[in-house]
């Protein structure tokens, strides 16, 4: 059976990537790092699999397109 994708917090992301907090948020704004997901009213984290994908290929990482993204892209 496949393990569910864990949600990891900022401290873990910092340790795993070696990036600073400001660099992570700058890269999110540029679209070159996975965006956070809201996990509670005051909390956010990242899907561990997305961070693993970024670590495997930081220069080539692109966000996974959702069905809505694909539909929007096909309209242009």
User: Dmax over Cα atoms in the chain, in whole Å?
Assistant: 40
Q: Give the mean pLDDT of 22-47.
A: 95
For residue 31, count CB atoms less than 10 angstroms from its CB and return exposed for 0-12, middle for 13-18, buried for 19 or more: exposed
Helix H or strand E segment including 10: helix 10-17
Measured CA to CA in angstroms, residue 27 lies from 19, 22, 38, 45, 57 at distances of: 10, 9, 18, 15, 14
Q: Among all chains, which residue has been given the structure tokens 């929007």?
A: 72
Confidence of residue 72 (pLDDT cuts 50, 70, 90): low
The reported pTM is 0.77
């Amino acid at each position: 059976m496949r393990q569910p994708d864990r949600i990891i917090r900022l401290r873990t992301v910092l340790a795993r990537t070696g990036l600073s907090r400001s660099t992570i948020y700058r890269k999110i704004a540029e679209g070159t790092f996975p965006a956070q997901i809201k996990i509670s009213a005051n909390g956010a984290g990242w899907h561990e699999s997305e961070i693993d994908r970024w670590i495997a290929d930081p220069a080539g990482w692109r966000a996974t397109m959702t069905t809505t993204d694909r539909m929007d892209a096909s309209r242009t």
